[in-house]
Amino acid sequence: MGKEFIRVYRELDLDEVAKHLLIMGDLTGDCGSCRCLGIDYYSAGTCPECGVPFKYLTSRRLEANPGERFQLARRMRDKRPDLTFIDYTDYQKLMGQKKARDFFGS
């Protein structure tokens, strides 16, 4: 049996993830911390704008092209073994809940 990609669930600190997240777009990435655009997601170790070190990686393509999910995970594992690949939908959902909580002050 070969090695395959299977999604696992891990408990992570949402603030920590948001602060060190590199979000892949189609051609370039953006910083989850300061929203800086145009980052090379294959090579950037830190954000060129705010300087945070990247630790996590996600992609908007995961949501738009769910069929490519495992190909993408494999490619990013090969290119960026230093970063933890997380699910974009999970991240978006949690950030939405956090923003709502902060807004209502509870």
Contact residues toward Zn ion (CB under 5 A) are 31, 33-34, 36, 47, 49-50
**Is 52 or 72 the residue whose CB approaches Zn ion more closely?**
52
73-104 burial, b if ≥16 CB within 10 A, otherwise e?
beebeeebeebbbbbbeebeeeeeeeeeeeee
Nearer to Zn ion, 12 or 36 (CB): 36
Shortest Cβ 59–Zn ion spacing (Å): 17
| Cβ-based nearer residue to Zn ion, 39 or 73 | 39
Question: How many helices and strands in the chain, by DSSP H and E?
Answer: 4, 4
The Cα–Cα gap between 32 and 59 comes to 11
- How far apart are CB 48 and Zn ion at their closest, in Å? 8
* Least distance (Å) between residue 30 CB and Zn ion: 8
